[in-house]
Chains A and B, each alone.
Chain A
Amino acid sequence: EAQVTQNPRYLITVTGKKLTVTCSQNMNHEYMSWYRQDPGLGLRQIYYSMNVEVTDKGDVPEGYKVSRKEKRNFPLILESPSPNQTSLYFCASSFLRQGAGSPLHFGNGTRLTVT
């Protein structure tokens, strides 16, 4: 089954404790992206990657890191989490197709709470 898999689904941590949220897709998509979703603010892009070893900042990259060593994986790293990073996080992927807008396939989300 074609899917984007995120882990964990729920995570409660304390300020400053490094964490990684994993994301894997099995559709051979070139493009992968991380979003955070907050009430009243919608989906905001954190980082994206257009292919292996190619990553770039989205709209809200501060406090986050990513890597794209393999095409299928795109982990999100919080080196020193803070309470304002409490949010619902989504990983998404798609084929790269300029202009028409390839549809994004989303994971089921990771709800992160930083205390």
Chain B
Amino acid sequence: TQLLEQSPQFLSIQEGENLTVYCNSSSVFSSLQWYRQEPGEGPVLLVTVVTGGEVKKLKRLTFQFGDARKDSSLHITAAQPGDTGLYLCAGPEIIQGAQKLVFGQGTRLTINP
């Protein structure tokens, strides 16, 4: 099984600050997905990155896929309390023809007003 390591596991910052969270692996992934999970809800897909070096922007969130497709980062500019949540990266793994998503352990982000 391919592993995805996320860092940091916990991050608490003040509103208005910038932050970056990382998702790393020793394996190559065909794509990586980022999800956000809010308390009491299931994870919701934010973005999928597919091409090595790809950068995608979602308002104040910038996602980058590493050139070698082994890592990804999520950068948030001017964080707001509404960004608070658990951020999960996930990548597809094919085992005996069956596709499954491997999840990182998540980064729990708290933005303080």
The residues of A with any CB-CB pair to B shorter than 8 Å are: 4, 31, 33, 40-43, 45, 48, 50, 56, 58-59, 90, 92, 96-109
CA distance A92 to B44 in the complex (A): 11
Contact A108 B101, beta carbon cutoff 8 Å: no
Q: Which residues of A contact B1 (CB under 8 A)?
A: 59
Interface presence of B50 (CB below 8 A): yes
Scan B35-69; emit 1 where CB is below 8 A from any A CB, else 0: 10000111111001010000000000000000000
Contact B45 A42, beta carbon cutoff 8 Å: no
**How many B residues touch the partner, as a band?**
20 to 34
Q: Which residues of B contact A58 (CB under 8 A)?
A: 100
Contact A56 B98, beta carbon cutoff 8 Å: yes
**B 1-53 contacts with A by CB, 8 A:** 1, 30-33, 35, 40-45, 48, 50
Decide yes or no: A100 and B42 within 8 Å by CB, A33-B100, A50-B98, A59-B1 being known contacts: no
CA distance A100 to B101 in the complex (A): 11
Q: Which residues of B contact A48 (CB under 8 A)?
A: 98, 100
The residues of B with any CB-CB pair to A shorter than 8 Å are: 1, 30-33, 35, 40-45, 48, 50, 88, 90-92, 94, 98-101, 103-106
CA distance A6 to B99 in the complex (A): 23
Given A99-B92, A104-B45, A106-B42, 14 other A-B contacts at CB below 8 A?
Answer: A42-B106, A43-B88, A43-B103, A56-B98, A98-B99, A99-B30, A99-B99, A100-B31, A101-B30, A101-B92, A101-B99, A103-B48, A106-B44, A108-B40
Q: Please pick, from A31, A50, A98, the residue contacting B94 in the complex, using a CB distance under 8 A.
A: A98
CA distance A109 to B98 in the complex (A): 24
Instruction: Sample 10 A-B pairs with CB under 8 A, ordered by A number.
Output: A43-B88, A98-B94, A99-B92, A101-B30, A101-B31, A101-B48, A101-B90, A103-B45, A104-B101, A105-B45
Contact A109 B41, beta carbon cutoff 8 Å: yes
CA distance A99 to B99 in the complex (A): 8
Contact B50 A100, beta carbon cutoff 8 Å: yes
CA distance A44 to B113 in the complex (A): 33
